[in-house]
């Protein structure tokens, strides 16, 4: 009888752990989708990410390329962003 009780307790712990892992995975996937959508729509956010976390920005542009099925949307977006950012940097710098 004690073995059966121990088995039920162990099964309950495993079940809760599996549910916890599933919830964690769903939360991580949802957060990644929201972050991807946010970066896709906001050039200011991409610029912040590129300036402060360049490897994360590279991951975003790579993911954008992967989602575009070979159309290299991320590469074109990155090049356009860099062109705009360097143009705005040279426009705002003071020259004597």
Structural domain range at position 74: 42-91
The answer to whether residues 9 and 32 belong to one domain is yes
Which whole number is the average pLDDT over 27-52? 94
The answer to whether residues 52 and 20 belong to one domain is no
The answer to whether residues 4 and 36 belong to one domain is yes
Give me the pLDDT at residue 4, please: 78
Quick check: 76 pLDDT over 70? yes
Gyration radius (Cα) of the chain, Å: 23
Listed range (40-44, 82-86, 89-93) with the worst mean pLDDT: 89-93
Q: Confidence band (pLDDT; 50, 70, 90) for 6?
A: confident
pTM score, whole prediction: 0.70
Rounded alpha-carbon distances, angstroms, from residue 84 to 8, 23, 28, 48, 52: 62, 40, 32, 14, 17
């Amino acid at each position: 009888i004690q073995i059966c009780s121990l088995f039920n307790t162990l099964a309950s712990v495993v079940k809760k752990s599996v549910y916890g892992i599933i919830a964690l995975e769903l939360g991580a996937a949802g957060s990644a989708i929201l972050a991807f959508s946010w970066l896709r729509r906001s050039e200011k956010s991409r610029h912040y990410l590129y300036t402060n976390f360049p490897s994360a920005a590279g991951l975003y542009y790579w993911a954008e390329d992967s989602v575009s099925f070979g159309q290299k949307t991320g590469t074109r977006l990155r090049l356009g962003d860099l062109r705009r950012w360097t143009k705005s940097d040279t426009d705002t710098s003071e020259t004597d």
